[in-house]
Amino acid sequence: MAQFSALNKRCQGAAGYRDSGGNVFLFAGDANDLYALNVSVSDWANVSSAPGAYNTTEEQMWEFVYFNGDVIATNFADPMQYYNINTPPAGFADLPGTPPKARHLAVVKNSFVVAGNTFDAVNGNMPQRVWWCDAGNAHSWSTPGTTAAAAAQAGAVDLLGDGGWVMGFAPSLANADAVVFQQYAVRRMVYAGPPVVFDFLPAENARGTDASRSIVVQGGIAYYFGQDGFYAFDGSASQPIGVDKVDKTVLNDIDLGNLGRMVGAASPFNNLILWAYPSKGNNGVCNRILVYNWVLQKFDLLDVPCETLVRLLGLGYNLDELYTLLGYSIDNVPASLDSPIWTGGRLSLGLFGTDHRMAFFSGDPLQATVETSEMAPYPGRRMFVRNTRPLIDGVNSSCTVAIGHRERQQDAVTFAQPTTLNSMGLCPARASGRYITTRVVIPSSNTWTNISGVEVEGDPMGTR
């Protein structure tokens, strides 16, 4: 959807919601402004309280939640903002009720807007504080500890100890009303009612996250990037999902100085969680996307530069509007006409590219590179490889295969020149070694669905 104009600067957060009439609104924020887009408008509209009104820092992001018709946004640098999508105003305004500034927001039990890692005029920076509004009323934040707060079930708790800063929330998990992620701890947030309102129960005492935007909730499970790798948390305990190769690859590649740029999102159609992150030496720009299939429990890695990932709602267009509003013809529509991105209210996964423009994952396939597991076909002996047969489903599934070989586990793998698939379904090869692997490259122009493996044809050789 590159027809929409670019934001003024790097996108630092986005979200999508529906009003009471079913109309879809998309929101995005950059360092100085907030923007809105809906189906009746063919471009982003600046809906800041005033043009250039905000001061979002490079390390901080906009976070959005929806509560009782209000889209509430926070960036920590400025007062919380709100925009009622049922009666759209000219722009965002300061949220009433003197809420604190906050780095993180969530809606818990459908009754409370909860802020984490806060700042207020009386206490200053309170990085371990969790603070929530009056029950059912985000326009009122009664002063914690007062009689009025007790009557309205408003309050605040400081999660003191060595758990570190509050880094984010995961609401509506399988075994908790919400979860509070700290740098070095995870706590269950359970509604207890007056007078305490919420109990904060230890769940993980030595594990948390420094990457607040890596937290993704899908199917009652919170997926996140911890200090030593990727985990899935169900409200009771964390289970590692990227042990060894995946965790080591990402930890060796990621720019730890820019963990605040890492962002995750769930794809609602194909059982995928995606994490975009900046690699070392890339100046903090996200250039990798790690993909995790939670059903198959498998990972993939994409080289796609972006500013942020975002789970959005399709705006909804008919054929006339694709032409009159977006400027597409029947020949250059960037996705099939039955794609969910054209259906109003359907969940879609999108991103903002490095040109500050919104796009969906609807373009042509990228080139695929697959390396198979290393094998020792003839234990104690070497193998001469003469052919490989890649097993790929597809109408147009040409590819190349390169043989990787080495004599010792201590040696680096050497890849022979890749060869192209012939009419017999073979990629001829001439390589030998004690340990053999293959690298398959499928060009971006191909149409294919699955690769199930590579058959290797060859003969045993003498030892050496």
Give the mean pLDDT per block of 10 residues along the chain (464 residues). Answer: 78 92 90 86 88 93 96 98 94 97 97 98 97 98 96 97 96 90 96 94 92 95 96 93 94 95 89 96 95 94 94 57 44 50 63 92 82 92 94 82 95 95 93 96 86 93 68
Report pLDDT for 269. Answer: 75
Where b means 16+ CB within 10 Å and e means fewer, 109-140 reads: bebbbbbbbbbbeeeeebbbbbbbbbeebbeb
Report pLDDT for 325. Answer: 44
Report pLDDT for 41. Answer: 62
d(CA 187, CA 169): 10
First-to-last alpha carbon distance for the chain, in angstroms, is 58
d(CA 267, CA 337): 19
Task: Set out the domains of the chain in order of their start, with CATH numbers.
Answer: 368-461 (2.60.120)
Q: H or E element: which one contains 148? A: helix 147-152
Report pLDDT for 58. Answer: 85
Report pLDDT for 315. Answer: 54
Report pLDDT for 42. Answer: 64
Say which amino acid occupies 148: A
Report pLDDT for 1. Answer: 39
Q: The pTM is what? A: 0.85
- Side by side, the strands of the sheet bearing 70-74 are 63-67, 70-74, 81-84, 93-94
What does each C-alpha distance from 345 to 25, 92, 313 come to in angstroms? 9, 23, 5
Secondary structure (H, E, C), 203-272: EECCCCCCCHHHCEEECCEEEEEECCEEEEECCCCEEECCCCHHHHHHHHHECHHHHHHCEEEEECCCCE
Please name the residue that has the structure tokens 């996964």: 349
Report pLDDT for 396. Answer: 67
The DSSP secondary structure of 76-87, one letter per residue, reads SSS--EEEESSS
Report pLDDT for 346. Answer: 64
Rounded to 10 degrees, the C-alpha dihedral 114/119/122/128 comes to 70
Report pLDDT for 314. Answer: 60
